[in-house]
Amino acid sequence: MNIAYVIGVDYGTDSVRSIIVDSRTGEEVASSVFNYPRWRDGLYCNASLNQFRQHPLDYVEGLEQTIKACLSMTGDQVRANIRAISIDTTGSSPVAVDHTGKPLALLPEFAQNPNAMFVLWKDHTATKEAAAINDHAKQFDINYLKYVGGIYSSEWYWAKLLHILRADEKVRQACYSWVEHCDWIPFLLTGGNDIHQLKRGVCSAGHKALWAKEFDGYPPDEFFASLDPLLKGFTSRLSKETYTADQPAGIISKEWSERLGLAANVVIGVGAFDAHMGAVGGQIEPYHLSKVMGTSTCDMLVAPQADIADKLVRGICGQVDGSVIPGMIGLEAGQSAFGDIYAWFKQVLAWPVQLIDQTSSLS
């Protein structure tokens, strides 16, 4: 078997982790972690408003530093035989972009505007918009929420987009499209400069953005335009075609091959969500429940298409063909607030210790 190594990049809530794996044996040969500095300092967030935003520079800097750190731990043979890079991220964590696909926060005039940054999965500023989507969907004969458990969440793509468009006129004027984090990183690595060429993963589109083959893509423009005129024509900027995570997004760009010191033929995989790819890493198979636990916890299950047929599961976070393993229906459920609840409870229990520390420092 030919020598071949792959790089996996996992974007979590607080940090990004990269690893290099020997594709022949599955052996992990290097790993590195980068904590987002702006996020660590609490920038662009307001917990009292349930606003949690992340600057794209945290993602870009972490991508470069962790991959370079991994490569520095290995020899030239490993570096020369890196064949592919694949990405997973939190989600739904979308961002407003211009027609070139650049996040608005990377433009000087929006560099400090939280509404121009990635709206993190646990941001709940769009609760009113989510409620409006749920009420609006009841007016249609076709159930456009059928594949997302029948209920649309404030944590998801369209609710967040509508909230930002309503809240910020400057961002609204500059925003051409709206892109998930897991779709943007492969676009970045392949040197994308036309948002219409971006390959959107079925994982993000199906679970969070109402994409379905049955709808020939997304719900029709009429659905969104009648919800709010600000959304009129928006689906025309989103490709109807989506891709599973085993497919290539493209080849690494000259800029990034030189930046990382990698060969010019490295393949970049289509991106997906962290919980779904975590289930793959856990060797998920039909009807085996995989619990992916962190800041949130996601319950992942896959089933053959023929077994699911037209069955719908109400209340889950989506059932999407190919979102976990190509050729199988991926079903997602779980608890969004998990690790954060423990962090909160720790603070509740620790107040006597904190009080003692404060008293000691004053004495």
Q: How far, in Å, CA of 330 to CA of 303, rounded?
A: 7
Residue from 336, 191, 215 nearest 268 by CA: 191
Write out the H or E segment, with its range, that includes residue 208.
helix 202-208
Class of the 5-283 domain? Answer: alpha beta
Residue type, 280: V
Q: Please answer whether residues 211 and 205 qualify as being in contact, where contact means their C-beta atoms are separated by less than 8 angstroms.
A: yes
Domains of the chain, by residue range, sit at: 5-283
CA atoms within 13 A on the CB side of 131: 5
Please provide the size of the chain in residues.
363
Strands (E), 36-139: 53-54, 82-89, 94-97, 118-119
Q: How far, in Å, CA of 170 to CA of 59, rounded?
A: 24
Phi/psi-derived region of residue 43, left when phi > 0, alpha when psi is between -120 and 50, beta in every other case = beta
Residue 29, C-beta contacts closer than 8 angstroms, at least 6 positions apart: 5, 20, 21, 22, 73, 74, 78
Instruction: Give pLDDT tens digits along the chain (363 positions).
Output: 588 999 999 999 999 999 999 999 999 999 999 999 999 999 999 999 999 999 999 999 999 999 999 999 999 999 999 999 999 999 999 999 999 999 999 999 999 999 999 999 999 999 999 999 999 999 999 999 999 999 999 999 999 999 999 999 999 999 999 999 999 999 999 999 999 999 999 999 999 999 999 999 999 999 999 999 999 999 999 999 999 999 999 999 999 999 999 999 999 999 999 999 999 988 889 999 999 888 788 899 999 999 999 999 999 999 999 999 999 999 999 877 787 888 888 888 888 888 887 776 655
